[in-house]
Structure 1
Amino acid sequence: MDKIWYAERIKECKSVKPEIVRLLKEEFKISDKDFDCIMYDIESQYHSTPDTLLRMAILNKCAKRGYDYEECEHYLDLIRTSGIEKLFNQYTKKKILHEYLDGDPMIFNGDILITDPCYIIREDSKEDWNICCCGYDMEKLGINHYMTRDTLYGDWSGITFNSDTKEPIGRFCADAGLVSVMLLDEVLKYNPDYDCDLKESFAATIIRDFYGTVQFVIRQDESKEEYYLEVIGHGINKVTDKPINFIGKQTGF
């Protein structure tokens, strides 16, 4: 999804904040301390439990008044009828929208490897997986030209298609819920035992002599309101000058 989409979704999320403030102050009439706590929570990148905090605020309010059962039930029922939980959910979605932004295109020059980064880790050095931050800091392994992205789905299997002919040109899968694009020569320098033939048969796509750009693109399935990742490449075979355009996407689980 592009930056225009992102800006529009952020605007939609933020549009409900005035109604959240109104409900908390005028309908639920919670204390300033509880109000500040809830507002901090919905803004924090690392917390998102405003519905729980609101229930606690209501119970504390009722307890200070001698725990009027009818009053307490009124406010708890108001959570449902006011729709504030739905507003909380809509507002806090702004914290994760960046996950659906398209990646920036990256230029690759050489044989490229499309696979889950966990597959390239050396058998005799499993701790390298943690050292490279699960594929997000591959420089620690000497792999400097790469891109890594969450699949948004988890573990999956995918096929790489020639965008022009629609024919499959390779397969890849994910066991760590990630997909990376790397230069094969850098992978082999790190792990000389990497079995290209075995991996290419099911776990990785290798595109030889590629020169061009590769980009992670997020698409939306409008019918299911879900998002999915595609690996898009546009370039040429630098030996034959023939076009190489491809798309890698999920085809199974």
Structure 2
Amino acid sequence: MNRPFVSDAGKGAFLYKKLIGGDRMRTMDKKEIPFTVDHVGSFLRSERLKTARENFSEGNITKEQLRVIENEEIENLIEQEKSAGLHGITDGELRRSFWHLDFLEHLNGVEGYVPEGGYNQKFHGKAAPSYNIRVTGRISFNKNHPFLEDFAFLKDKVESDESLIAKVSVPSPNMILRQELLANDGNSRIHQIYSDLSSFYHDLSQTYKEVIHAYYEKDCRYLQFDDTNWAVFSRY
């Protein structure tokens, strides 16, 4: 049986962890995982895709029409990744508005919202769009999480070539802590829901176990946890 790899990616470093013990996973005609050279998987959006998103937000096209354009742009990106010699192929996260919030807001017990103060980060002096997530109830995995369907599309387009493997990155559990403890600026309700944070940590751990198994059931064998806040929480 092929064993899945779960990797943790921080800024400037990749640490790979095995979900199940044993030797490194090898599959027929695929390169050994983890690869010597790899990438997180997020790519710049094309002008066509950015225009489509604007048209969707303004009500000029339907969600179905937007998805057709996303599919076409992802297929174009897959060909570019293959041409560059990559073996772990992602969808570029082209369906996401944020690299982390889109995934987190579709977990049970988490909602996306527009904070009055905006998102609390700036990039090269420019503020990120005003959007965030917060915990609203006991956290658990959403078995109808839309990212699973997104992965199925990617896998279908990639793994007809046995030398390639479809790869997906999701935000680590740490990112919920980051948003709740540092980014909510008075909007966090977590202490109202969890009087004892040890229960929150338990639910979060169980949720991510189910995330891993849900991707495994979709035949995903390369799942990466993306994390940018290890240094922040090392102080606590």
Same fold by TM-score greater than 0.5:
no
- TM band (smaller chain): under 0.3
More helix by share: 1
TM-score between both structures, scaled by the size of structure 1? 0.24
Structure number with larger C-alpha Rg: 1
TM-score by length of 2: 0.25
Q: Of Structure 1 and Structure 2, which has the larger fraction of its residues in strand?
A: 1
